[in-house]
Amino acid sequence: MRPFAYERPADVRSAVATLGAGTDAMYLGGGTNLVDLMRLGVAEPGTLVDVTRVTPAAIEETPDGGLLIGAGVRNGDLAAHPLVRRRYPVLAQAVLSGASGQIRNMATVGGNLLQRTRCSYFQDVTKPCNKRSPGSGCPARTGDHRNLAIFGHSESCVATHPSDMAVALAALGAVVHVEGPGGARTVPMPGLHRLPGEDPSRDTVLEPGDLITAVEVPALPLAARSRYRKARDRASFSFAVVSVAAVLELDGERRVRDCRIAFGAVAHVPWRAGSAEAALRGAPATVEEFARAADAEVRGARPLPLNAFKVPLAHNLLVRVLADLAETS
């Protein structure tokens, strides 16, 4: 591991000033991904700026009934919070389905959003990878891409974003609060993450020095009926093969009044399923209609030879989650 300096800034402003100075410094949250990437030689910061003591670590109610979640909140505390569990079960379930108890105790909300892909080529410095080493190529396209993207990938990169939490936040329309060299601003999800295009080295729209300070989840009463479901290769402590976050509200005639849907592990971003949502609104809450909506979404998929199975998996997972939610409505 390359030697690095360790700094504990006094507040958010001085943290941003440290990184904004054009250095090779990086922010350190829980370290569950970054420390491993440093050990693998994938990340080589000259300075680590530990932000765990300066980013807010509390969850507060906003005046309109939403939640403001500090970026320093640990994943375990987020999933355990009574208001998260009651108002946004999809968010609690998504967080609980990720990693292990120990990792969730360490990982922060801000760090979870900014974790890197688990594409095996990205994590192996002896292999080419356009995300890690721009211009070196993408062996995954013709190599091992079984668990990589089916939506929105490019010639340069077929990586997926590994977060479960981000999928729920994308479905809920969360807003990310950012403090940067130019001041404070907000970034609505799913717009925080970006498709790879010709520059897969950038996972998000954040600029150098930007620090996520909080994630705001809007008031969304229908989210009390929501669910996260994750298909994976083993029952626990495993990344998703495909996951889905869904919020469903029916009217008195059992038609879909409103819904929110996002897929995980299918793209470089948490994949908000706008086509499925549009097909569902106003439709009868039947398995046939749920299947039609899922068709509308997966029609846009461009699977690679080894991950074509993800298309029917995503379809069937969505139908099942919607059926489960409708059953309890």
Partner 1 sequence: MTVDLQLSVNEQIYPLTVDTRETLLDTLRERLDLAGSKKGCDHGQCGSCTVLVDGRRVKSCLTLTVTVDDQPITTVEGLAGEDGLHPLQRAFIEHDAFQCGYCTPGQLCSAAGMLAEAARGWPSAVTPDVAADPVLGEEEIRERMSGNLCRCGAYPGIVAAIEEVAR
Q: Is 221 in the site for partner 1 (CB under 8 A)?
A: no
Q: Is 85 in the site for partner 1 (CB under 8 A)?
A: yes
| Residues contacting partner 1: total by CB under 8 A | 35
Backbone angles phi, psi at 222, to 5 degrees: -65, -15
Report the residue number, 92 or 269, with the smaller CB distance to partner 1.
92
Q: Is 97 in the site for partner 1 (CB under 8 A)?
A: yes
**To the nearest whole angstrom, how small is the minimum distance from the Cβ of residue 151 to partner 1?**
25
Q: Is 222 in the site for partner 1 (CB under 8 A)?
A: no
Q: Is 204 in the site for partner 1 (CB under 8 A)?
A: no
9, 15, 16, 32: residue in contact with partner 1 (rule CB under 8 A): 32
d(CA 168, CA 88): 9
Q: Is 6 in the site for partner 1 (CB under 8 A)?
A: yes
Q: Is 108 in the site for partner 1 (CB under 8 A)?
A: no
15, 19, 28, 273: residue in contact with partner 1 (rule CB under 8 A): 28
Q: How many residues does the chain have?
A: 329
Q: Is 103 in the site for partner 1 (CB under 8 A)?
A: yes
**Contact predicate 15/97, CB 8 Å:** no
Q: Is 50 in the site for partner 1 (CB under 8 A)?
A: yes
**To the nearest whole angstrom, how small is the minimum distance from the Cβ of residue 249 to partner 1?**
18
Query: Please, is 123 exposed, middle or buried when counting C-beta atoms within 10 Å of its C-beta (0-12, 13-18, 19+)?
Result: middle
75, 93, 108, 163: residue in contact with partner 1 (rule CB under 8 A): 93
**Contact predicate 105/73, CB 8 Å:** no
Q: Is 163 in the site for partner 1 (CB under 8 A)?
A: no
**To the nearest whole angstrom, how small is the minimum distance from the Cβ of residue 72 to partner 1?**
13
Closest CA relative to residue 207, chosen from 216, 194, 217: 194
92, 119, 246, 248: residue in contact with partner 1 (rule CB under 8 A): 92
24, 134, 205, 237: residue in contact with partner 1 (rule CB under 8 A): 237
Q: Is 43 in the site for partner 1 (CB under 8 A)?
A: no
Q: Is 39 in the site for partner 1 (CB under 8 A)?
A: yes
Q: Is 44 in the site for partner 1 (CB under 8 A)?
A: no
Stretch that binds partner 1, among 33-41, 55-63, 189-197, 294-302 (CB under 8 A): 33-41
**To the nearest whole angstrom, how small is the minimum distance from the Cβ of residue 296 to partner 1?**
29
**Contact predicate 91/172, CB 8 Å:** yes
Q: Is 125 in the site for partner 1 (CB under 8 A)?
A: no
12, 17, 31, 137: residue in contact with partner 1 (rule CB under 8 A): 31
| Residues engaged in binding partner 1 (CB under 8 A) | 1, 3-6, 28, 31-32, 35-36, 39, 48, 50, 52, 76, 79-80, 82, 85-86, 89, 92-93, 96-97, 99-103, 105-106, 235-237
